[in-house]
Amino acid sequence: MNELTREDILEAISLAVAAAVEAHPLSEEEVVWVRLAIKAEADRAAFRKAVIDKTMTALLGTIATAVGLYLINYFTAHWIK
């Protein structure tokens, strides 16, 4: 068996893609569509990241509030009479 290194594989793929692009270039409409698709995917990724960030912030705020209310309840029940 012929063992190829990672660099050999990457070079072969790069040459194949370059040859395919030269043989079949995209039309202007296809280029616009690809750019819009890339932008839409980036927007979806940014939205998911924002949702995760907001969720984590709300979760940490809820935990802090719960611990604070527990401590208030504990101190009023055991120390303040």
**CB 45 within 8 Å of CB 37:** no
**C-alpha–C-alpha distance, residues 19 and 13, integer Å:** 10
**CB 26 within 8 Å of CB 34:** yes
- How is the chain split into domains, by residue range? 6-78
**CB 62 within 8 Å of CB 54:** no
pTM of the model: 0.56
For 81, the token pair is 């009479």
For 40, the token pair is 């839409």
pLDDT digits (tens, 9 = 90+) for 20-55: 877 778 788 988 999 999 999 999 999 999 999 999
Question: Average pLDDT in the 57-75 region?
Answer: 97
